[in-house]
């Protein structure tokens, strides 16, 4: 399942050649006389800037040559927690990523004559609630949305989101849209939410395996990077290394957060572990979703992973005792492996810990690619409301935001933030490409088909590995909800 777009690193190298050209080519004209209607007044600029790069042959963004009367572009940005990632609100600052977002916003505002206004709220289901309210009042309060995965799926199911393929101002084939996301989120030729360079939220919440290099060496564990490169980084290899590290450090015969482990995990990590083994709740077959969770690989991985979680070499940080945080456990050298998303990296930046990053392990060596899951609860997707005041306006500004994000924000996030601040060795930089090149977007998670997402999480929480019996309890509900989803998307 190789991403159709070029790898993130190769794109950044190419884009670094054109960033200055792109910024210098931003065109703006004087404002036109405001209209009396509720849609933004627009002037057509016949000298629209073309930011096409002569060095590359890949299709490039071309400014639409439109200028709006200082119209507000309102983006509703929500997160389930108050410290969530907001890729649209940063002031001009000395921080590279903050400044890149500021420059992106400024470039779009000057090119199109708009004011980008991000309306940020946090809380469970807050995005779905706000959009539903707006649909009821028909106020057209939002021009675009960046909402939690559960919210966008619920809104799509209720016909509150616009089909992105129907917006003529958005070219989803451009490199700044995530082609893997487009492919995996399209049902019956309809796409209601996606991601790409326009948001680094989904990158922040992509999972990796962090490991303590000194501890690996002291325990006689071989070169883990070589295992990845040779295609031998499998679940069995991961479990074998995990079992080499375990110790009751204080000798009290109680294994808690004050002791040493091969693995620090948490409930939700069962989802990216299954994704890494090419397992999904729903799989698209010619644009039609089908239930595919109930198979031998699922059964095998759950038995192995839950079994590993039960052993003294593992600890679940959401339920552990002892008073030491999971961050301090890893920093203190008490864990070989930590399963986390990239948003956790700032915890370790100013420590002396020598750590590396790996993709989640494959199911076996026969599996072609390493596959990466993203945190379902935290990740947001970009969408347009069905009841926006002006669909063309939403599309024009969205496309410009995406294009300038590719040139400015993605390099700042990847090259200057991930690689520049948090990657401690060259090999981990190579691992980032592997992690980002093959990410899994499982519609069954976002649509909560049969509540199977919760079932899997609870199984790991309770250290219960009998998948067959748990699936049997949910099978009828999953089939019914899948039929309802197909009906909503016009599938017989």
**Are the beta carbons of 337 and 271 closer than 8 angstroms?**
no
For the stretch 255-288, pLDDT in tens is 999 999 999 999 999 999 999 999 999 999 999 9
Please report the domains of the chain, with CATH numbers, ordered by start residue.
Answer: 8-204+378-422 (3.40.190.10), 207-373+425-488 (3.40.190.10)
For the stretch 213-225, pLDDT in tens is 999 999 999 999 9
Give the residue ranges of DSSP H helices in 172-295. Answer: 179-185, 201-204, 213-218, 224-229, 235-242, 270-276
Whose CA is closest to 313, among 330, 333, 336, 339?
336
**What mean pLDDT do residues 308-318 have?**
96
Query: 479 CB contacts (<8 Å, ≥6 apart)?
Result: 291, 450
**Are the beta carbons of 194 and 177 closer than 8 angstroms?**
yes
The answer to whether residue 18 scores a pLDDT higher than 70 is no
Residues in the chain: 492
| Two tokens, residue 195 | 């991601």
**What mean pLDDT do residues 51-70 have?**
75
| Two tokens, residue 41 | 């007044």
The answer to whether residue 6 scores a pLDDT higher than 60 is no
Torsion, Cα 364 179 126 168, to 10 degrees, reads: -160
Query: 488 CB contacts (<8 Å, ≥6 apart)?
Result: 157, 159
Least confident segment among 79-93, 132-146, 188-202, 346-360: 79-93
| Two tokens, residue 359 | 């993709």
What does the pLDDT read at residue 45? 52
What does the pLDDT read at residue 176? 98
Q: Which residues pair with 247 in a beta bridge?
A: 260
What is the bridge-based pairing of β-strands 380-383 and 144-148?
antiparallel
**What mean pLDDT do residues 467-492 have?**
97
For the stretch 319-343, pLDDT in tens is 999 999 999 999 999 999 999 999 9
For CA atoms 127, 279, 418, 52, give the dihedral sign.
negative
What does the pLDDT read at residue 89? 72
Share of the chain above pLDDT 70, in %: 87
| Two tokens, residue 386 | 């069905």
The answer to whether residue 87 scores a pLDDT higher than 70 is yes
> In whole angstroms, what is the distance from residue 298 CA to residue 304 CA?
10
Whose CA is closest to 234, among 170, 290, 175, 301?
301
Helix (H, G, I), strand (E, B) or coil at 269: helix
Helix (H) or strand (E) holding 12, with range, is: helix 8-15
pTM of the model: 0.89
Helix (H) or strand (E) holding 121, with range, is: strand 114-122
As a whole number of Å, the CA-based R_g of the chain is 23
As a whole number, the mean pLDDT across the chain is 90
Residue position matching structure tokens 């002569």? 54
For the stretch 232-250, pLDDT in tens is 999 999 999 999 999 999 9
Q: At residue 282, what are phi and psi to the nearest 5 degrees?
A: -120, 135
What does the pLDDT read at residue 28? 37
Give me the DSSP letters along 252-268: SS--STTSEEEEEE-GG
Q: Which residues pair with 206 in a beta bridge?
A: 374
> In whole angstroms, what is the distance from residue 447 CA to residue 369 CA?
26
> In whole angstroms, what is the distance from residue 100 CA to residue 438 CA?
26
User: What's the Cα-to-Cα distance from 257 to each of 81, 210, 214, 319, rounded to whole Å?
Assistant: 25, 18, 20, 10
What does the pLDDT read at residue 328? 93
**Are the beta carbons of 152 and 161 closer than 8 angstroms?**
yes
Q: Which residues pair with 144 in a beta bridge?
A: 75
**What mean pLDDT do residues 462-469 have?**
97
What does the pLDDT read at residue 26? 41
For the stretch 372-427, pLDDT in tens is 999 999 999 999 999 999 999 999 999 999 999 999 999 999 988 898 888 888 99
Residue position matching structure tokens 């792109």? 22
What does the pLDDT read at residue 51? 40
For CA atoms 315, 447, 78, 195, give the dihedral sign.
positive
Give the residue ranges of DSSP H helices in 230-295. Answer: 235-242, 270-276
């Amino acid at each position: 399942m190789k991403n159709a777009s070029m790898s993130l690193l190769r794109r950044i190298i190419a884009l670094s050649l054109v960033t200055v050209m792109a910024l210098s080519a931003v065109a703006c004209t004087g404002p036109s006389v405001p209209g009396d209607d509720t849609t933004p007044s627009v002037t057509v600029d016949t000298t629209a800037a073309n930011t096409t790069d002569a060095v590359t042959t890949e299709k490039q963004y071309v400014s639409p040559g439109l200028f709006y009367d200082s119209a507000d572009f309102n983006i509703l940005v929500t997160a389930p927690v108050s410290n969530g990632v907001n890729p649209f609100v940063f002031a001009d600052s000395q921080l590279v990523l903050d400044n890149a977002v500021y420059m992106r916003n400024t470039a779009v505002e000057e090119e199109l004559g708009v004011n980008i206004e991000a309306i940020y709220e946090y809380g469970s289901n807050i995005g779905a609630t706000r959009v539903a309210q707006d649909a009821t009042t028909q106020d057209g309060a939002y021009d675009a949305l960046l909402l939690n995965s559960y919210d966008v799926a619920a809104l799509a199911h209720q016909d509150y989101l616009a089909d992105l393929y129907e917006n003529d101002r958005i070219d989803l084939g451009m490199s700044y849209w995530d082609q893997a996301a487009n492919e995996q989120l399209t049902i019956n030729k309809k796409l209601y939410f996606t991601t790409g360079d326009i948001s680094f939220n989904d990158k922040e919440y992509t999972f990796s395996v962090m490991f303590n290099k000194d501890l690996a060496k002291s325990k006689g564990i071989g070169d883990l990077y070589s295992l990845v490169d040779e295609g031998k980084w499998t679940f069995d290899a991961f479990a074998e290394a995990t079992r080499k590290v375990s110790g009751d450090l204080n000798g009290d015969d109680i294994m808690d957060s004050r002791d040493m482990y091969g693995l620090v995990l948490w409930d939700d990590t069962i989802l990216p572990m299954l994704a890494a083994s090419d397992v999904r709740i729903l799989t698209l077959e010619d644009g039609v979703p089908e239930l595919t969770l109930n198979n031998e690989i699922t059964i095998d991985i759950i038995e192995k992973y839950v079994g590993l979680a039960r052993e003294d070499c593992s600890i679940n940080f959401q339920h552990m005792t002892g008073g030491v945080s999971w961050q301090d456990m890893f920093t203190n050298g008490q864990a070989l492996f930590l399963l986390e998303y990239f948003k956790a990296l700032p915890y370790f930046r100013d420590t002396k810990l020598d750590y590396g990053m790996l993709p989640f392990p494959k199911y076996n060596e026969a599996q072609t690619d390493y596959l990466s899951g993203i945190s379902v609860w935290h990740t947001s997707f970009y969408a347009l409301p069905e009841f926006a005041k002006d669909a063309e306006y939403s599309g024009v500004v969205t496309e410009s935001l995406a294009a300038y994000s590719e040139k400015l924000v993605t390099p700042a996030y990847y090259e200057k933030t991930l690689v520049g601040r948090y990657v401690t060795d060259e090999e981990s930089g190579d691992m980032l490409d592997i992690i980002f090149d093959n990410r899994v977007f499982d519609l069954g998670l976002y649509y909560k088909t049969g509540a199977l997402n919760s079932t899997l999480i609870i199984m790991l929480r309770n250290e219960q590995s009998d998948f067959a019996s748990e699936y049997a309890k949910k099978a009828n509900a999953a089939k019914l909800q899948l039929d309802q989803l197909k009906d909503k998307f016009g599938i017989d």
